[in-house]
Amino acid sequence: MIGDLRGQKLFVVLAAFFVVNAVLAEFIGVKIFALEDTLGLQPFQWNLFGQSGSLNFTAGTLLWPIVFIMTDTVNEYYGRRGVRFISWLAVGLIVYGFIFAFAAIHLAPASWWVGAAQDQGVPDLQAAFAAIFGQGLWTIGGSVVAFLIGQLIDVSVFHRIRKATGQRFVWVRATGSTAISQFIDSFVVLYIAFVLGPQQWPTNLFLAVGSLNYAYKMGAALALIPLLYIMRGIIHSYLGHDQAKRMMEEAARE
């Protein structure tokens, strides 16, 4: 009974952390940052498919690697059903959040509030609020669809690798599932948001940006492999070795 309760509490914590990271990544993703300037490095002039430029990414990339780790951890102990549940929950709450963000944009602003940040270089807070939280429907749709497809592919590939390797090589199934799911995710979101959407990116720009984003995500996923093992150690310590092993075996049989 105590072991089951610990397992339930662990799932709630993992699910909550997964969902809040996914929702935050969507909302802060509107900001584009320059990686080289952030790290104090000289601009790296990449050249792919005839396109060139510096390394610019959405701020959401700060959180997506954590989402990958959460996905693989839930997959490890709660199986396909656990990942599917938190994925659909995250999608529902992302849509819920955007609905209320759009509602907030259309509330009539207080006249004094509109110019309240002029001293900080923001002449119109209402316009700034609308620009930040009012991401286009194509971008929102592309992001949500890509996220859900990526998660469903991730859980499937994870279990296929797990069947081949058993309980060994945690990093192989975690990284392998991320490599395939994020390849799809990286291109689907851009295709829906910027190729089908009003900007209508040319193919070479779509391929260049998609490849760059994918390389960044995979680099982050590889860098976070030690965190996967640290989390595994913490979970085994919390659940107890026997309880953790039983949950992993049950998850593998789904």
Over the stretch 192-231, which tens digit does the pLDDT of each residue have?
888 887 778 888 888 888 888 888 888 888 888 888 889 8
Q: What is the pLDDT of residue 254?
A: 67
Half-sphere exposure of 205 (CA within 13 A, CB side): 9
In a domain, 20, yes or no: yes
How far apart, in whole angstroms, are the C-alpha atoms of residue 52 and residue 69? Answer: 31
Residue matched to tokens 């209402």? 126
At which residue do the structure tokens 């391929």 appear? Answer: 207
Residue 119 neighbours by CB distance under 10 Å: 7
Number of independent structural domains in the chain: 1
What are the tokens at 169? Answer: 């090589």
Contact 54, 103 (CB under 8 A): no
Does residue 197 lie within any of the structural domains? yes
Measured CA to CA, the distance from residue 132 to residue 123 in angstroms comes to 15
CATH number of the structural domain spanning residue 136: 1.10.1760
- Domain span holding position 217: 2-46+56-108+124-252
In a domain, 175, yes or no: yes
The pLDDT of residue 52 is above 80: no
Question: Does 95 or 252 have the greater pLDDT score?
Answer: 95
- Residue 154: band (very low, low, confident or very high) from pLDDT cuts 50, 70, 90: confident
**∠ Cα 143 73 219 (to 5°):** 60
Q: Is residue 113 part of a domain?
A: no
In a domain, 51, yes or no: no
Which of residues 9 and 68 earns the better pLDDT score?
9
- Tell me the average pLDDT of the chain: 86
Looking at per-residue pLDDT, the higher value among 55 and 154 belongs to: 154
In-domain check, residue 242: yes
Q: Is 32 left (phi over 0), alpha (psi -120 to 50) or beta?
A: beta
Q: In this structure, is residue 117 part of a structural domain? A: no
Are the beta carbons of 11 and 74 closer than 8 angstroms? yes
- The CA distances from residue 51 to 187, 194, 207, 210, in Å, are 16, 16, 9, 12
Q: How far is CA 223 from the centre of its chain?
A: 16
Q: Is 138 inside any structural domain?
A: yes
Residue 2: pLDDT band with limits 50, 70, 90? very low
* Over residues 27-37, mean pLDDT: 82
Looking at per-residue confidence, does 56 or 148 come out higher?
Answer: 148
Predicted confidence at residue 198, as pLDDT, reads 72
